[in-house]
Chains A and B, each alone.
Chain A
Amino acid sequence: MNVLLKELKLNLKSLIIWCLAQCFIIFAGMMKYQGFADSEVDVSALFDSLPKEVLTVLGMESVNIATIPGFYSVFFLYFMLLAAVHAIMYGAIAVSREERDHCADFIYTRPRRRFQIITPKLIGGVINLIVFNAVTFVASVGFIAYYNDGNGMISEVSVTMLALFFLQLFFLAIGSFFGAISPSTKIATSLSTGFVMLTFLFSVIADLVDAADFLGTLSPFNAFNAQDLVINGQLEGLPALILLAATLVFSGLCILSFHFRNLKT
């Protein structure tokens, strides 16, 4: 319990900054929606006829961004990117923080097993993710309601946030796994950066080139389809299950490899 409280306190400031950044992103995006809504007439017809390569280059998927749900579905990628960076870095640091700050001598000499210390740290991470997710939810519903005559699309946004939460958990687990297997925080965060960049590029290329669809299956950024989530309000079960399974596996591997780790003092 003490470990959990300490974790939450340590991360409070960075969590607040992340949440503010997220609110700003939603604000900055939705602010200009009005401009799109005004010119709806031609745009909708035209966008349907454009090939997806062109839309990818333009920064839009093949959805009609002149409607609120279509416009909001574009946001899912932004949320994923920021949430991935937040979660993976949290995981990478939470596990190796004590060694970085040279205070491992104080916590790991207590009469507690290592997993009893790591588990509350990971739970603290999950709480951070939930707060991040909840703030995104509230900000989204608020801004959507403002531009959509009071209709906040609560059910669709909830499904979207649920999908985002699965991704967050996955990235937290991967990050903590990197933290547990690397000798230092620096290497853990470098590995995490590489992982986020590589999977992001995979998803971009998979969207662009038909022949590269196999790269998309490797990328968590492609696990969910923003259109299904936001427009149809449907969450695909299989990717969610795979992500959840991967989360459990990597969390387990993290606890296991941390158990055998040679702690630097």
Chain B
Amino acid sequence: MNMIKQELRMNLRSLITWCLSLLAILILFMLFFPALSDQMEEFQKVFNSFPPAFQAALKLDTITIDSIMGYYQFAFSFILLGGAIQAMNLGVAIISQEVRMKTGDFLFVKPITRNRVVTMKMLAALILITMTNLILGIGASIVLLITDAQSFDLKTFLLINGSLFFTQLFFLSLGLFLSAFLKRIRTVLPLSLGVVFFFYVISMIQETVNDPKLRLISPFDYFNLAEIMERMEYNAFYLLLWMLLIILFVLGTYWLFRRKDLPAI
């Protein structure tokens, strides 16, 4: 319990910063919504002139960035990017920081098992991620209601926001695993930023080429926002894959960290 409290206290400032930045991304996008929806009205006619078969093939009917929920879904893909960086950062840092800040000598000599330390730190990270999601969810619903209260749809909203939580959990566990796997991490951000942007680029490629094999290694596409909007449910196969990978990463973290050689000062 003390450990969780300590972690929460240490991460409070970065939690606030991240929540504000994620909200700022959303507000930045929403500021340009009125300009965009004016612009889109002209093109609506062009869309309608396409033969229905073409519209279906290109999924034009699902690209509705002129409606608030459609635009929110588009903006949210960038919140996912930011949220993934936050979660990955937290995962990589939370265990490895004891060694990096040379405080490992104080924590790991206490009469508790390393597994317990890992569990407590994971719980603390989970609480932090949950809080980020709650704050962002409340903030985003306020922003959406202010922008356009009529077309606000709760189910779509919850499904889209849920994908942030799930994506964050994925990157959190990946970060934990990497921090247990790598011998020594001197600076967290280059690692987490590199990994997250790598997967982000993979997901952008995936958007263009749409290859089921590539989607397997593209965590941003496990919860594909456009697909969620269309089907109003998560894809069961990728949800299962997501769960499997998380379990693997978490177990791997325990297994590797228990055997890890921790340098003393």
Contact = CB atoms under 8 A, between A and B. Distances in A.
Given A201-B25, A201-B78, A28 B202 contact: yes
B189 A89 contact: yes
B85 A209 contact: no
Contacts of A25: 198, 201-202, 205
Contacts of B207: 58-59
Contacts of A53: 36, 39-40, 43, 65
Contacts of A209: 32, 35-36, 39
Given A49-B46, A57-B63, A82-B197, A186 B205 contact: no
A36 B208 CA distance: 10
Contact of B28 (A35, A60, A201): A201
Interface residues on A, range: 35 or more
Given A25-B202, A100-B186, A190-B189, A211 B32 contact: yes
A194 B189 CA distance: 11
B106 interface: no
Contacts of A51: 43, 46
Contacts of A58: 58, 63, 207-208
B200 interface: yes
Contacts of B15: none
Interface string B102-122: 000000000000000000000
A154 B61 CA distance: 39
B205 A28 contact: yes
Contacts, number: 118
A238 to B, nearest CB: 26
A193 interface: yes
Interface residues of B, number: 42
Interface string B183-223: 00011111001100110111011011111001000000000
B60 interface: yes
B202 A186 contact: no
B175 interface: no
A81 interface: yes
B165 interface: no
A210 interface: yes
A78 interface: yes
A93 B36 CA distance: 39
A54 B194 contact: no
Contacts of A201: 25, 28, 78
B38 to A, nearest CB: 9
Interface string A190-231: 101110110001001100111110000000000000000000
A209 B74 CA distance: 13
Interface string A138-164: 000000000000000000000000000
A28 B207 CA distance: 12
Contacts of A121: none
Nearest to A208: B36
B54 interface: yes
Nearest to A77: B204
A197 B197 CA distance: 10
Given A25-B201, A49-B46, A210-B35, A18 B189 contact: no
A261 B19 CA distance: 32
B157 interface: no
Interface of A: 14, 18, 21, 25, 28-29, 31-33, 35-36, 42, 46, 49-51, 53-54, 57-60, 65, 74, 77-78, 81-82, 85-86, 89, 93, 100-101, 185-186, 189-190, 192-194, 196-197, 201, 204-205, 208-212
5 contacts: A81-B197, A89-B190, A192-B189, A197-B85, A211-B39
Interface of B: 21, 25, 28-29, 32, 35-36, 39-40, 43, 46, 50, 54, 58, 60, 63, 65, 74, 78, 81-82, 85, 186-190, 193-194, 197-198, 200-202, 204-205, 207-211, 214
Given A28-B214, A210-B35, 16 more contacts: A32-B214, A35-B209, A53-B36, A53-B65, A65-B208, A78-B201, A85-B194, A89-B190, A100-B187, A101-B186, A185-B187, A186-B188, A197-B25, A201-B78, A205-B28, A212-B32
